[in-house]
């Protein structure tokens, strides 16, 4: 067949396909009109909404199936074209933001119900009858910003039968103070969880109708730390009694009277976060009962920093990831999985992977081609120094592979450090340590800090400073239950 004949033949085929396509579009339009007219007729006859939806869905499916069945055959796609189309679909799904996920209904929220009736002037509920058996549900989320309420108590005093009867003054957070526990709780939450410096908190309060002076704000924080000191001691005592602890430190700048070498009155202080592994200095004969467990994420990070193009570092990262993949197959406490079972699981998967990791970094060192101060050499040296402790991770069934639980806590202190830059004094740093301890303990146990502080302040306001620590134990976030009333 000649070239011109082939062209003519293809033109005729294209024309035929266009005619078929136009015919099919006409059929679809006709069916859509038919669906619309049927829906209108059903509405006029007062059919139930559920029946209309089923019928409309069936007709829509009929339209879809008819058009699909009568479409002209499409040429088969190559594998490359198919993958490209799938990628385009994935990009469109991502653009919708929720990737097709179901809408979060927020069942944990306080809920108010509102009954809505038609507001048309011609509507008469006495003449009308329900069109549907159940109302249509619509949800709107309202945000109520921080509110301040001034409660004025008029306390009366009477005499009766020679006795004096006086109304009881409501409990305040501190002696001779006008502030309720909720006020202190709001202040503490903004300072130590939202990480706002005092100046911003003052501006935030003022924007919502309450003028708070800076010295007053600092004094309230100071008094709150004193109120919480016994609670803090009880948390510390409880954490230190735990046989397994995770620990790390982070710094905070502190203003001091003495000038440093740069002529600035600033020193670097350290906050220790202990969640319930001590540092290398505790791994000695002086502490024979302490086993130090390292953080695999710190080790892994040093190899990641070597760059994607370093095959040796990449291989060790992949092997560490394999340890995590096996570890995540089970979790102690979930589905009846015990510490003993977890230890047996580790004994099965860990030795071969650990052996391969050691073979890899031994082989790298034996090559002798690494520069002494290269990132890979530093990473391997760090891993070799930690090796015995790494192996120790898998000699227990309840140890973590990393110290991420503490790193997450440190983030809040780091964020506060970026926002407020420094503590005003060593005393201020001590107060910060107390309040961070309480705030982050609440967060770890998924306890609402505002509710917790409000309740604990009001409950302990009249307790004496020498109250035994044991009495505070039931108020710690892991056992706390909100008081009724």
Give the highest mean pLDDT range of 96-100, 210-214, 422-426. Answer: 210-214
The mean pLDDT of 185-208, rounded to a whole number, is: 88
Report the pLDDT value the prediction gives residue 170, as an integer from 0 to 100: 84
The mean pLDDT of 127-148, rounded to a whole number, is: 82
**Least confident interval from 20-29, 167-176, 295-304:** 20-29
Give the highest mean pLDDT range of 35-44, 106-115, 379-388. Answer: 379-388
Report the pLDDT value the prediction gives residue 57, as an integer from 0 to 100: 58
- The answer to whether residues 452 and 479 touch, using CB atoms and an 8 Å cutoff, is no
Q: Is the pLDDT of residue 281 over 50?
A: no
Residue 64 or residue 17, greater confidence: 17
Counting residues of the chain whose pLDDT is more than 70, the rounded percentage is 82
Report the pLDDT value the prediction gives residue 60, as an integer from 0 to 100: 56
Cα–Cα distance for residue pair 146/202, rounded to 1 Å: 13
> With b meaning 16 or more CB within 10 Å and e meaning fewer, what string describes 203-212?
ebbeeeebeb
Q: What is the mean pLDDT of the chain?
A: 81
**Least confident interval from 144-153, 272-281, 346-355:** 272-281
Model confidence pLDDT, tens digit, residues 303-325: 999 998 999 999 999 999 999 99
- The answer to whether residues 260 and 266 touch, using CB atoms and an 8 Å cutoff, is yes
Model confidence pLDDT, tens digit, residues 34-86: 777 666 665 555 545 555 555 555 555 555 554 444 444 455 566 677 667 77
Q: Is the pLDDT of residue 403 over 90?
A: no
Of the chain, the end-to-end C-alpha distance in Å amounts to 94
Model confidence pLDDT, tens digit, residues 284-304: 566 667 778 888 999 999 999
Cα–Cα distance for residue pair 225/231, rounded to 1 Å: 10
Report the pLDDT value the prediction gives residue 204, as an integer from 0 to 100: 93
- Classify residue 440 by burial, with Cβ atoms within 10 Å: 0-12, 13-18, 19+: buried
Cα–Cα distance for residue pair 235/5, rounded to 1 Å: 91
Residue 40 or residue 185, greater confidence: 185
Give the highest mean pLDDT range of 34-38, 196-200, 378-382. Answer: 378-382
Give the C-alpha distances (Å, rounded to integers) separating 282 from 115, 240, 285, 360: 65, 14, 8, 30
Residue 473 CB contacts under 8 Å (≥ 6 apart), including other chains: 234, 238, 479
- Where residue 90 falls among pLDDT bands split at 50, 70, 90? low
Q: Is the pLDDT of residue 210 over 50?
A: yes
Tokens 């010295």 identify what position?
A: 215
Give the chain as a 3 state SS string: CCHHHHHHHHHHHHHHHHHHHHHHHHHHHHHHHHHHHHHHHHHHCCCCHHHHHHHHHHHHHHHHHHHHHHCCCCCCCCHHHHHHHHHHHHHHHHHCCCCCCCCCCCCCCCCCCCCCCCCCCCCCCCCCCCCCCCCCCCCCCCCCCCCCCCCCCCCCEEEECCEEEECCCCCCCCCCCCCCHHHHHHHHHHHHCCCCCHHHHHHHHHHCCCCCCHHHHHHHHHHHHHHCHHHHHHHHHHHHCCCCCCEEEEEEEEECCCCCCCCCCEEEEEEEEECCCCCHHHCCCCCCCCCCCCCHHHHHHHHHCCCCCCHHHHHHHHHHHHHHHHHCCCCCCCCCCCHHHHHHHHHHHHHHHHHHHHHHHHHHHHHCCCCCCCHHHHHHHHHHHHHHHHHHHCCCCCCCCCCHHHHHHHHHHHHHHHHHCEECCHHHHHHHHHHHHHHHHHHHCCCCHHHHHHHHHHHHCCCCCCCCHHHHHCCCCCCCCCCCC
Counting residues of the chain whose pLDDT is more than 90, the rounded percentage is 25
Phi, psi of 328 (to 5 degrees): -75, -5
Report the pLDDT value the prediction gives residue 197, as an integer from 0 to 100: 86
To 10 degrees, the CA torsion angle through 266, 270, 271, 277? 170
Report the pLDDT value the prediction gives residue 280, as an integer from 0 to 100: 45
The mean pLDDT of 197-210, rounded to a whole number, is: 91
Report the pLDDT value the prediction gives residue 358, as an integer from 0 to 100: 94
Q: Is the pLDDT of residue 329 over 90?
A: yes
Report the pLDDT value the prediction gives residue 285, as an integer from 0 to 100: 65
Model confidence pLDDT, tens digit, residues 216-227: 999 998 888 888
């Amino acid at each position: 067949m000649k070239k011109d004949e082939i062209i003519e033949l293809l033109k005729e085929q294209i024309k035929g396909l266009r005619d078929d396509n136009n015919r099919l579009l006409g059929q679809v339009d006709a069916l859509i009109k038919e669906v619309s007219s049927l829906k209108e007729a059903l509405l006029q006859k007062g059919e139930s909404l559920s029946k209309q939806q089923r019928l409309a869905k069936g007709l829509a499916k009929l339209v879809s199936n008819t058009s699909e069945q009568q479409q002209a055959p499409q040429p088969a796609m190559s594998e490359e074209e198919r993958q490209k189309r799938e990628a385009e679909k994935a990009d469109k799904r991502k653009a919708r933001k929720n990737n097709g996920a179901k809408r979060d209904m927020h069942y944990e929220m306080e809920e108010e119900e509102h009954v809505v009736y038609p507001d048309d002037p011609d509507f008469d509920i006495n003449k009308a009858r329900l069109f549907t058996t159940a109302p249509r549900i619509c949800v709107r989320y309202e945000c109520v910003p921080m509110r301040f309420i001034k409660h004025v108590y008029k306390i009366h005093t009477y005499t009766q039968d020679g006795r004096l009867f006086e109304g009881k003054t409501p409990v305040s957070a501190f002696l001779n103070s006008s502030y309720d526990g909720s006020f202190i709780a709001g202040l503490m939450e903004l300072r130590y969880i939202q990480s706002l410096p005092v100046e911003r908190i003052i501006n935030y309060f003022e924007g919502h109708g309450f003028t708070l002076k800076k010295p007053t704000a600092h004094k309230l924080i100071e008094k709150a730390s004193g109120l919480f000191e016994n609670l803090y001691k009880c948390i510390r005592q409880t954490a230190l009694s735990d046989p397994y602890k995770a620990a790390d430190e982070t710094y905070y700048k502190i203003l001091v009277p003495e000038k440093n070498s740069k002529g600035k009155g600033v020193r670097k202080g350290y906050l220790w976060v202990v969640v319930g592994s001590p540092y290398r200095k505790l791994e000695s004969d002086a502490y024979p009962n302490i086993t130090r467990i390292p953080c695999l994420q710190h080790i892994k990070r040093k190899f990641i920093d070597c760059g994607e193009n370093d095959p040796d570092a990449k291989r060790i990262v992949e092997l560490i990831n394999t340890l995590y993949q096996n570890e995540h197959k089970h979790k102690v406490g979930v589905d009846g999985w015990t510490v003993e079972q977890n230890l047996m699981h580790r004994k099965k998967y860990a030795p071969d992977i650990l052996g391969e990791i050691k073979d890899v970094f031994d082989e790298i060192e034996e090559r002798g081609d690494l520069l002494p101060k290269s990132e890979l050499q530093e990473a391997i040296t760090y891993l070799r120094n930690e090796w015995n402790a790494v192996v120790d991770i898998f000699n227990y069934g309840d140890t973590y592979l990393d110290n991420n639980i503490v790193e997450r806590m440190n983030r809040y202190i780091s964020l506060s450090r970026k926002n407020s830059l420094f503590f005003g004094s060593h005393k201020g740093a001590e107060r910060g340590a107390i309040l961070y301890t309480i705030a982050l303990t609440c967060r770890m146990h998924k306890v609402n800090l505002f509710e917790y502080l409000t309740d604990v302040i009001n409950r302990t306001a009249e307790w004496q400073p020498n109250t035994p620590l044991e009495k505070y134990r039931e108020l710690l976030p892991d056992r706390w239950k909100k008081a009724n009333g």
